[in-house]
């Protein structure tokens, strides 16, 4: 595999799968997952519905969106995936023959294509067991994320959805400032909302002193009394 730059290594080591690994340990982990680099232009598809997913991905630069079509033919965004985050783990591991989602680059994106065949191998190799444990933990984290999404979508009002969505983003970022992996149109689709209504509600929250934002960067604020 092509040697990674310092910034690319940082994104890799910030991921749940490769956190804390460097040098030979990281090289062995990349070999374990059959890692290969791929550059995908904005709008480029990584997977289409009805196809098997032969790999899962880890975003190094850029972002990826996972979406599906609902019964009315409208696109529903299931996830936005940014640097250090992964997509497609469960579909790849379970070898789903006809995946139900689209996966495409939301912007020019560099990613690692990773394979999970060796995760399924029964082995006494200590390093392999440790990497398999990391993979399983990553799947569990994905389950928690999807549960959070369900909780957000269950809220009746757009404001309630936004508050819970931003709270979850802040929790994941470990602070009051965070980046949202969507533009406004993507955020509206993700939250099941009208784009104009979303813009109005964001403006109201900013006027009330609850949030500050510029493009996709947000900061939660203490409401003014």
Give 179: exposed, middle or buried? Use CB within 10 Å, 0-12, 13-18, 19+: middle
Q: What angle do CA 173, 176, 178 make, to 5 degrees?
A: 50
For residue 33, what are the CA distances in angstroms to 61, 72, 102? Answer: 19, 38, 23
Confidence (pTM): 0.63
Residues 144, 151: Cα–Cα separation, whole Å:
11
In contact, 118 and 81? CB cutoff 8 Å: no
Q: What is the pLDDT of residues 135-147, one digit of tens each?
A: 887 876 777 677 6
Q: What is the pLDDT of residues 147-196, one digit of tens each?
A: 677 778 888 899 999 988 998 888 878 899 999 988 898 899 888 888 99
Domains, the chain, with CATH or none: 6-153 (2.60.120.10), 158-220 (1.10.10.10)
């Amino acid at each position: 595999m092509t040697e990674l730059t310092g910034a690319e290594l940082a994104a890799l080591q910030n991921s749940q799968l490769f956190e804390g690994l460097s040098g030979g340990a990281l090289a062995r982990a990349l070999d374990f997952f059959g890692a290969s680099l791929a550059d995908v232009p904005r709008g480029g598809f990584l997977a289409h519905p009805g196809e098997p997913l032969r790999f899962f991905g880890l975003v190094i630069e850029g972002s990826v969106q996972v979406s599906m079509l609902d019964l009315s033919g409208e696109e529903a965004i299931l996830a936005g995936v940014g640097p250090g985050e992964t997509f497609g783990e469960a579909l790849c591991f379970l070898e789903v023959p006809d995946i139900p989602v689209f996966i495409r680059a939301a912007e020019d994106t560099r990613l690692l294509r990773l394979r999970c065949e060796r995760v399924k191998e029964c082995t006494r190799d200590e390093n392999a067991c440790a990497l398999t444990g990391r993979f399983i933990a990553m799947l569990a984290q994905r389950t928690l994320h999807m549960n959070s999404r369900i909780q957000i979508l269950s809220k009746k009002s757009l404001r309630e959805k936004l508050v819970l969505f931003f709270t979850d983003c802040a929790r994941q970022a470990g602070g009051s400032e965070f980046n949202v992996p969507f533009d406004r149109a993507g955020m509206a689709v993700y939250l099941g909302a009208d784009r104009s209504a979303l813009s109005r509600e964001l403006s109201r929250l900013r006027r009330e002193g609850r949030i500050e934002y510029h493009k996709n960067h947000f900061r939660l604020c203490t409401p003014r009394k």
